[in-house]
Structure 1
Amino acid sequence: MFSQRIATLRPSPIREILSVIDRPGMVSFAGGLPAPEMLPPLTLSAAPTSLQYGPSEGDPELRAVVSEQLRALGIDAPTERVMILSGSQQGIDLVAKLFVDPGTPVAVESPTYLAALQVFRLYGADFTDLSWSAAPAAPLAYVVPTFANPTGRCATDHERDTLARACLDTGTTLFEDDPYRELAYGPCDRAPVTARMRGGSWVYQGSFSKTFAPGLRLGFLAASEDLFSRLVMLKQAVDLHSSTLSQQLVRSALTDPSWSSRLDGLASFYRKRRDAFDAALRRHLGGLAEWETPAGGLFFWLHLTRPVDTRALLATAIDRGVAFMPGEEFFPDNPELGTMRLNFSHADAEDAERGLRVLAQLLRETADAPAPPVTCIMQRTVQGERSRSWGDP
C-alpha cells in the first residue's frame, strides 16, 4: 500500500530528541539551536503582497541581495540562478530528487550531516567515501567544507582546490552546503569550493536559520546553468514557493544597514560561548574525551577515550536532564563508536556547566558497566519518552 522507499525510512534522530527536551530544567546539547537571546525582535508590518502567492524562485529583490553576496564570494550566481528555499533541508531534498535513484552512488564525508544522510537514504543512495585528495567515485558529491556538521572541521584552501579540480575532471556534480560560514571565531579558509567550479556542475546552498531566525524556515541555493531550471521545476512540484512573508522579513534584515553589525555581534557572542564551553569541557570531561576547539560553527565533536556506543547512553542522559547527539548517527556506514556531538550555542554558561557535569558522571558510571542493548534504548528514547509525563521519576 505504501511506496517502496517508505520501507527504508527512519525517523530523524535529532528531531525525535528535540521533541522531548521541553522538560523543565532540561539542558540540550543536541540540536544546532541559536541562543534565544540572539534571535531578532520582530515587528510585523506586512505589505499586502507579502500575503500573496509569489514566484517559485523567490522574491526577486531578496534573490538579488543573495546574488550580490554570493558573487562577492566568487560564485557564478547571477540573480536568475538564485532560488529561495523553505529551509536548506529543502535544497538537499531537491538535489536528491534530481540525482538519486535506488543504487546511485553519492560521495559523502564520514561523518557528515545526519539529515542529509536521511534524505539520500530515502531515495536509495549508495554511499561512498569523499576524499579531499582524490576524485569522488560518484556522480554527486555532498560536502560541508566550512565548520562541518558534526565535526566543526574547516577544509584548507588546498583541499578545496583539489576537490574542485577532481569534480571538474570527472564530471561529478558538487553539492556544497554552507550554513555556518558567517559564524567564524578564528582563522579558516572559507572561500567556497563552488567558486572554483567554472564550467562544472554545482549547487551551493546556505541558510538564514543560523544568522537570523530558524523559525522562518528560509534558505537559498544557487546552481550551475545546466541544473537550475530543473531544480525550479522540482520546487514547483513540492511547495510552489517559499513563504512570501518570511522572505519579506529576511529581505528587510539583509538590506538594513545594521546587518553587518549583527553578524559581527553573533560571531563575538558565540566565540565567548564556545570558549566558556571549551573550558567547562576541560574541567568535566578532561581524561574522558578528546576534542579540537572549532574555529567556527556551533558544535564540538568528541572522541571518548573508551569506545562506548553513545546511543546506549542517551535515554539515561535524558532521564537526568541532559540531551546530546550520539555521534554514531552521523556515519553513512560502519559508525565509529565513542563519539558525540555537543552543541554549545544554546545553553548558557550555568546550564552548560551543569549538563557537562552530568555527562561526565554518566560516562564514569558506564566505564565498568555493560552497555544495555542499543535498539531498546533508542526505541525507548524516541518513542516512549513522548508517551509519559516528564514529571514521572
Structure 2
Amino acid sequence: MLSQRIASLRPSPIREILSVIDRPGMVSFAGGLPASETLPHLAHSDDPALLQYGPSEGDPELRAAVSEQLRALGLDAPTERVMILSGSQQGIDLVSKLFIDPGTPVAVESPTYLAALQVFRLYGADFTNLDWDRAPTAPLAYVVPTFANPTGRCATRDERDSLARACLDSGTTLFEDDPYRELTYEPCDRVPVAARMGGGSWVYQGSFSKTFAPGLRLGFLAASEDLFPHLVMLKQAVDLHSSTLSQRLVLSAVTDPSWAQRLDDLASFYRNRRDVFDDALRRHLGGLAEWQAPAGGLFFWLRLTRPLDTRTLLHTAIDRGVAFMPGEEFFPDRPQLGTMRLNFSHADAADTERGLRTLATLLDGAADHHTEQTSFQRG
C-alpha cells in the first residue's frame, strides 16, 4: 500500500541522537550544533534553545497541547503520535511521498483543495471519485469534511460514519485535512472522520494559519500507529524540523487562558464578514449566480446561471482591481465550467462592495458576449 520510495527510507541517526542531547550531563559530539553562546539574543527571552535545532517531531510541549485538543475530539492521538509541520501543506507532501507512485489511485472529492491536487499530480496520482457511501477504490482517500475548500460544505454525521466504515472495509487510508474546523458560524457535525477509524489507517491534520498567524508556517498532524514512524522519517529527510521559534510562539498562544476567547472572537468576526458578503452578493450577483452561505470556513462557492469558463475572466478582473479563484481549477479531471471561489474573510465592507460590483459587471458582459457568439454560430 505504501510507495516504492519508502522501501529505501531509513531513520536519520543524527536526528535520533539530537533528540537526546538535552539530557542532563549529556556531552554531544554528534550533530553540527552551533555553540549556544554564539546565537543571537532575543528580546524578552534568555533561552538559547529558541534558536537552536530541535526534534523532528516538534516541540514536546506543543505536541502535548495539540494531543490534548485532538483527544478531546475523539482522536486516538497521544503526544508520541503528533508531529508539528512546516505548514499543513507539508503534511500533504509527506503523505503523498508515503503513498503515491506514478499511477497510484487517490480518491478525492470533485471539486477539492487545489494545492492538494497539485501535490498529488506532482507524484503521479490517478484520481478516482470519492463517494461518501461506497468503499474507495484507492489506497488513499483525501477529504476536507468540515467547511471544505472550495465549496464550504460540511459533511453530515451519517456521511462521516459511512466514509469511516467504507475506508475500514476496503483497507483505504483516510487522509483528513481539517484547517477550518474552528471557524464555525452555524451548528454542524464537526467530529473528525478519523475519530471513527479505530483499527484503521488514517492521517489527520490541521493548521495554526487560520486561527493564529499564517506567516509562522506551522501545522500539525496525527496518524495511526502504522503510519506515524514513516512520516517522521520523511520529515527528517525534508526539513529536519519546523521552526523552533515559531513553535514557541504558537505554544504561548494556544496555552494562554484567553485562547478559547480568541477562537470565539474569530468566529464572531468572520460570521459578520460572511453575512456582509452574502448581502452584497445578493445585491450584485443575484441574477448571475447561485450559492449557499457557508456554515464555516472562509469561502463562498458560486455557480453561474449562464456557465462560462471563469479562467478567461481572471486577467481582465485583475486589471480592474479584483482577484478571484476560477472554480475550474479545483476539479481533479474534467472541470465544470461556470464556477468560482470567493474569499470573504480578507476584504472589509467597502472593498467587498466595490469588488463584487466590478465582478458583476464583468460577468454580465461576458455572459452577453457568450450569448452573442452562440447566436452567431447557430445563425
TM-score (norm 1): 0.83
Which residue identity does 1:107 align to in structure 2?
A
Alignment of 1:110-125 (within 5 A): 110-125=110-125
- The 2-side partners of 1:87 and 1:319 are apart by 31
CA shift, 1:299, in A, is 0.1
* Aligned equivalents of 2:273, 2:344: Cα separation in 1: 7
1:138 corresponds in structure 2 to 138
* CA shift digits 1:80-100 (9 cap, x unpaired): 000000000000000000000
Equivalent position SS for 1:245:
helix
Q: Which amino acid aligns with 1:184?
A: T
Q: Which amino acid aligns with 2:227?
A: L
Cα 1:357–1:93 change in 2 (3 A) is same
Residue 263 of structure 2 corresponds to 263
- 1:116-265 correspondence to structure 2 within 5 Å: 116-265=116-265
Q: Residue type of the partner of 1:92?
A: I
Match of 2:22 in 1: none
Higher Rg: 2
List alignment gaps of at least 5 residues for structure 2.
1-41, 372-379
Secondary structure of the corresponding residue to residue 322 of structure 1: coil
Query: Offset at 1:146?
Result: 0.0
Deviation at 1:370, TM superposition (A): 4.5
> Percent same amino acid among aligned pairs?
84
CA distance in 1, matches of 2:172, 2:260: 35
Letter in 1 for 2:192: P
SS at match of 1:106: strand
Partner SS state of residue 369, structure 1 = helix
User: Deviation at 1:45?
Assistant: 3.4
Report the CA distance between 1:44 and its aligned residue.
6.2
TM superposition outliers: structure 1 runs of 4+ over 6 Å: none
Residue-by-residue CA offset, 1:17-40 (whole Å, 9 max, x unaligned) = xxxxxxxxxxxxxxxxxxxxxxxx
How far does the alpha carbon of each residue in 1:324-362 deviate from its partner, in whole angstroms, 9 at most, with x for none? Answer: 000000000000000000000000000000000000000
Letter in 1 for 2:187: P
1:178-226 C-alpha deviation (Å, 9 max, x unpaired): 0000000001110000000000000000000000000000000000000
Residue type of the alignment partner of 2:48: P
**How many residues are aligned here?**
329
- Supply the AA of the counterpart residue of 1:279: D
- Post-superposition CA distance 1:102-155 (Å, at most 9, x none): 000000000000000000000000000001111111000000000000000000
Q: Which amino acid in structure 2 is aligned with residue 119 of structure 1?
A: V
Distance 1:360 1:44 in 2: 50
**Cα distance per residue 1:206-260 (max 9 Å; x no partner):** 0000000000000000000000000000000000000000000000000100000
> Where does structure 1 lack aligned partners over 5 or more consecutive residues?
1-42, 372-393
Alpha-carbon distance between aligned partners in 2 of 1:212 and 1:365, rounded to the nearest angstrom: 40
Aligned to 1:354: 354
Q: CA deviation at 1:175?
A: 0.1
Could you say what secondary structure the match of 2:183 adopts?
Answer: coil
Q: CA RMSD for the aligned pairs?
A: 1.0
Deviation for aligned residue 1:368 = 2.1
Q: Which has the higher contact order (CA 8 A, sep 6+)?
A: 1
Measured in 2, the distance between the counterparts of 1:343 and 1:245 equals 30
2:332 matched to 1:332?
yes
Query: 1 CA distance for matches of 2:174 and 2:283?
Result: 41
Cα distance in 2, alignment partners of residues 287 and 302 from structure 1: 12
Q: How far, CA to CA, are the matches of 1:138 and 1:184 in structure 2?
A: 31
1:48 to partner: Cα distance: 1.4
1:70 aligns with 70
Distance 1:285 1:320 in 2: 17
> What amino acid is aligned across from residue 44 of structure 2 in structure 1?
S
Distance, in Å, in 2 between the alignment partners of 1:139 and 1:45 is: 49
